[in-house]
Amino acid sequence: MTQLTNASEVVEEMPVAGAPVVRVQQPEHSTPSVKTPLTAFIGLESSDNGVTLVELVGDSVLTETRQLSGNVGEELSAWLSELVAQRHQQIIAAAIRKDDTLAHLFSRLWLKEDIVPFIIAAPREEPLEKLVREVAANFDAQNVVQIPLSLSQEVGVADLVTLDDYRAVTVLQDFALLSRLVQAFQGKRLVFVNATPRGGGVALMRHALIRLLRLMNVDAHWYVLVPNAEVFDITKRKFHNVLQAVAAPDVVLTDEDKAVFNAWSAENAHLLHDVFKQADVLVIDDPQPAGLIPYIKQANPHAHIIYRSHIQIVSSLASQPGTPQNITWEFLWQTIKDADYFVSHPMSMFVPKNVPDDKVLYMPATTDPLDGLNKELSEEQMEHYLHFFNEILEREGQTPLDLTRPYIVQIARFDPSKGIPDVLEAYRRLCIMLQERQQPVPQLVIAGNGSVDDPDGVPIFNHVQELLRSDLYAALASDVKVARLPHRDQLLNTLLRKSSVVLQLSTKEGFEVKVTEALMKGKPVVAYHVGGIPLQIVNGVNGHLVEVGNTVQVAQHIYDLLTDTSLYERMSMAAVELAGKDYLTVPNAICWLYLALTLLKNERLEGRFRWVAELARKEWSGVADEEEGEDQMQCA
């Protein structure tokens, strides 16, 4: 547990608002000024003369060749660490030719050195410097990589790790089961369609899933829709927010909205026509691509369709005639009803009553243990990301995060359902409790990514800033760090790893796998008892579940964790031990291949709200056990 440092506050009563305000006296020390690391891109090449490294920093190029003997991977790591330390750099990405003997080290570059590998099919005659410049051109000014899209909107997924890397972090029985399902699926094509290639949990899951399936030679593809700001405003405010019941009562889907959405669906269907014809099974992620379903049926009557709902639908309102939720849902159901399965987060209250029970199956959201959000990071690497975070804060006119003091954190999109005002109120109450007991005060970090299909981000961010300028919170504002972050997953990873306590005060939620990501890092989570969050937290063991709006109880739980070291250590250990193993990429792949195979064999499941992973393990457990035994015999 991070030890709290000294700070003092004075509580003053506000006679007008009637709520106490904490006046925080800042500690004398602050974050020391540290020079920002230089951004570098490298190329690696082996030859008879040794290993050549070409380094690009800005427009300057340095070339060095060394003889590496013995363990090339270890020696290369030492060389790169030397460069980073001596030249105060952060190496962002590396170019390696596909046929180079160093190409097999690509996953080491990612997992150990935090360098994005680019394995490039290029002839030896092409200068290594040119390859490095091409790699650097894939990154923007904040070193966020551009996600490649084909003309048909297929998403290019990065090769970051090997199959052995996944095998090392997976339960043996699950890996054997997945291997068997992969073998049975050979010769068939699986296609996923969603709104965007970046931003939000769906895109993160698809990157990891497609990466794994491709490693196992599954013919799997992922396509996204053509972005349209007008449509995304409709799908966010009048689909997503309305179905979650977080929109204002007067926000209602109109006939004009429906016409705009239908025209956009037709445009995307035309673009994806050949994709539909070649697919055996298609997965439609959330309402945005739901309008494609009739076009899929028309282009390929033999294709099977699975609809995956990732959001909390307030089914009681969606099933009540005349409500905004019912108007939206009935419009969407006109197309979704033709899907073979309706896959939901494991909460029956998320499923509208007109969805037939035999179509309903359960799958949780998942996260990937090897991606930027979850892989291990060294202290030096995390230091780089924390200073990058402070650069973002300073550009926004905020004081930097004091790296010598602890902080609590909520990582989430700036969305009406994420309960950010409650986070501020719980923090205010925590500060009062700590002052009354003469305890030091931690900082608060509220941060998350944006998404192209989410127009709520900026208004909610601005609203939080307005709250911090109000009389109730102004005295705390300098200790509250609020940031919309670029899509560098290691930054979120770092903020979670270096935090003391993690909050997730969503008032409405589908699953929010950020809870599992925090638990995997040994962080106790204090969260509201909504959606799929209770499936991830054992109340009082690895975190706390609180009823929505009870910020007093939230503050008390945070206080206990910050001031009781033995309690914190017990919960931290339990967090790691109990983090859901079914909420990872391999079980996710098992579920999708199992569902696809049942449809291809014309053995459509009777869903009835059953967990797909349990069905897959029950049906295929004998095969998986046999393979496990064979593997053990071969090892012996």
CATH number, residue 453: 3.40.50.2000
Mind listing the pLDDT tens digit for each residue in 371-389? Answer: 999 999 999 999 999 999 9
Residue range 518-530: mean pLDDT, rounded: 97
Q: pLDDT at position 17, please?
A: 39
Whose CA is closest to 287, among 333, 346, 253?
333
Domain range for 594? 163-366+585-632
pLDDT above 50 (res 582): yes
Q: pLDDT at position 69, please?
A: 81
Domain co-membership, 129 together with 205: no
pLDDT above 90 (res 632): no
Q: How confident is the model at residue 16 (pLDDT cuts 50, 70, 90)?
A: very low
- Specify if 247 maps to a domain: yes
Domain co-membership, 361 together with 238: yes
Q: pLDDT at position 21, please?
A: 46
Residue 62: φ, ψ to 5°: -120, 140
Residue range 178-205: mean pLDDT, rounded: 96
Domain co-membership, 219 together with 348: yes
Domain co-membership, 560 together with 605: no
Domain co-membership, 276 together with 352: yes
Domain co-membership, 463 together with 601: no
- Specify if 490 maps to a domain: yes
- C-alpha separations of 379 from 112, 149, 318, 336, 518 in Å: 12, 34, 48, 47, 18
Q: How confident is the model at residue 451 (pLDDT cuts 50, 70, 90)?
A: low
Q: pLDDT at position 70, please?
A: 81
Higher pLDDT, 34 or 55: 55
Q: How many CB atoms lie within 10 A of CB 48?
A: 4
Domain co-membership, 506 together with 429: yes
Q: pLDDT at position 622, please?
A: 65
- Specify if 416 maps to a domain: yes
Residue range 215-226: mean pLDDT, rounded: 98
Measured CA to CA, the distance from residue 559 to residue 440 in angstroms comes to 11
pLDDT above 60 (res 561): yes
Domain boundary among 563, 582, 601: 582
Domain co-membership, 347 together with 199: yes
Mind listing the pLDDT tens digit for each residue in 278-331? Answer: 999 999 999 999 999 999 999 999 999 999 999 999 999 999 999 999 999 999
Measured CA to CA, the distance from residue 324 to residue 322 in angstroms comes to 7
pLDDT above 50 (res 27): no
- Specify if 467 maps to a domain: yes
Q: pLDDT at position 32, please?
A: 44
Q: How confident is the model at residue 442 (pLDDT cuts 50, 70, 90)?
A: very high
- Specify if 377 maps to a domain: no
Measured CA to CA, the distance from residue 136 to residue 141 in angstroms comes to 10
Domain co-membership, 201 together with 249: yes
Total domain count, the chain: 3
- Specify if 145 maps to a domain: no
Mean pLDDT, the chain, as a whole number? 91
- Specify if 248 maps to a domain: yes
Say if residues 584 and 369 touch (Cβ distance below 8 Å): yes
Q: For the chain, how long is the longest CA-to-CA vector?
A: 80
Q: What pairing do the DSSP bridges indicate for beta strands 501-504 and 525-528?
A: parallel
Say if residues 342 and 360 touch (Cβ distance below 8 Å): yes
Domain co-membership, 130 together with 193: no
- Specify if 375 maps to a domain: no
CATH code, 125 = 3.30.420.140
Specify which residues 411 forms β-bridges with. Answer: 447
pLDDT above 60 (res 241): yes
Please give the structure tokens belonging to residue 558.
């945070």
Whose CA is closest to 528, among 518, 512, 581?
512
Domain co-membership, 541 together with 415: yes
Domain co-membership, 577 together with 618: no
pTM for this predicted structure: 0.91
Q: How confident is the model at residue 2 (pLDDT cuts 50, 70, 90)?
A: very low
Query: Angle between the 565-578 and 551-563 helix axes, to the nearest 10 degrees?
Result: 100
